[in-house]
A = this chain, B = another copy of it.
Amino acid sequence: MVSKKIKKALEGSSVIRAMFTEGKEMAKKYGAENVYDFSLGNPATPAPEAVKEAIKEILDEKDPMFVHGYMDNSGYEEVRQAIADNLNHRFDTHFDFHNIIMTVGAAGGLNIIFKTILDPGDEVLVFAPYFGEYNNYAANFDAKTVAVNPDIATFQPDLADFEKKFTEKTKAVIINTPNNPTGVVYSDATLKTIAEILNKKQEEYKKEIYLISDEPYRELVYDGLEQNFLTKYYNNTIVGYSFSKSLSLPGERIGYVVVPDEVTDAETVIAGINVSNRTLGYVNAPSLMQLAVAKCLEEKTDVAYYDRNRSMLYTALTEYGYHCFKPEGAFYMWVKSPDEDEDRFVENAKKYHLILVKGGAFCWPGYVRIAYCVSNDTIKNSLPAFKKLAEEYHL
């Protein structure tokens, strides 16, 4: 009675969400302070005070018919212009409001991009390991993802494998840097080569192939790395952004899509994304929150907070004998499973009240993801548990 697709989805539902639910149950049982839940990318720092002030100011100063009313499906023009100006200033781009479409989070953005460009049977290349929801988003439009292997020494993409994975059905490539789940930031050289390969493949197959840059972690980079913006590498780049992490607003579902004028037939793509926003049922991004983020574009998330977690965790776990990849961005650490059976490793971790997510959830088994977007105290208090787990594995 439910659809065949949903029946299947219910059988293999989100591992991350399942771990989150399990973590909440363990917290009830053992006390929240005794459970170290590293499952979900829920920011650990509160939204900046400026968000609260912005919302109150809007409510006090603007007409509620404007604040809560319908606007164009792409969002308020002044909000889109403010975002364009902010990007231009930071990344030396040349956008105008018409290049920006406000979306219901990055997930909403990716879905309306996919709806606009994907035909059934199309293939979307994605660099493994990757956020498993991409598979569902492509399946929404009867397209499928094709995984590109990583270089397992660095977890930068294996570019030779990338080149091999193109077929005449390839319509898009998703890129996510800083990366979930590895924390890797793709180097300038990697991005240039990806663009070269894309240009070559566009010519070979005589059609547009889109680079879709999923950028929720854009502002979260460490060790003095510069924030990057990918439209400069390749003309047919479409950006999806979310304020979930940068302003700690994941529940609000607010983000945007950027379609630069350099995209082939940009106006048609923009019109398609606008129509998709409506017909897929989003209609428009939440109105009050559109107006609020426009006032907070200069606000910064507390990168230093995550950096403390990153250092403490990486140093300790490496010392205990785990094989960790030092994150350069985002708030995830990628760790080799010391057990050949990663499911067993994740189960064993639970004995010590450590909630980790298996690499299989990111289509790359043999590893686990630790979402260190938790309080500094949670990191500190979890270390003895990680130590005991390491001892169990004789690391």
Q: List residues of chain A with CB under 8 Å of any chain B CB.
A: 1-7, 9-10, 13-14, 17, 21, 40, 42-43, 46-47, 51-52, 55-56, 59, 63-65, 67-73, 104-105, 107-108, 110-111, 115-119, 133, 136-137, 139-141, 207-208, 248-254, 264-265, 268-269, 271-272, 275-276, 278-289
Contact = CB atoms under 8 A, between A and B. Distances in A.
Contact of A281 (B68, B107, B116, B264): B107
A59 to B, nearest CB: 5
Contacts of A67: 47, 251
Nearest to A278: B14
A111 B59 contact: no
Count identical subunits in the complex: 2
Given A17-B73, A140-B279, 19 more contacts: A1-B117, A1-B264, A1-B268, A2-B272, A5-B119, A6-B117, A6-B272, A6-B275, A9-B279, A47-B64, A51-B64, A68-B251, A69-B248, A104-B253, A111-B280, A136-B279, A140-B280, A252-B287, A280-B280
A254 to B, nearest CB: 8
30 contacts: A2-B116, A2-B265, A3-B117, A3-B141, A5-B115, A6-B116, A6-B276, A7-B272, A13-B275, A17-B73, A21-B72, A46-B65, A47-B67, A52-B64, A67-B251, A68-B250, A68-B252, A69-B251, A107-B281, A111-B280, A136-B279, A139-B279, A140-B280, A251-B284, A251-B288, A253-B285, A253-B287, A280-B280, A282-B282, A286-B286
Given A69-B251, A289-B288, A115 B6 contact: yes
A52 B59 contact: yes
Contacts of A265: 1-2
A2 B268 contact: yes
Contact of A282 (B104, B264, B272): B104
Contacts of A7: 272
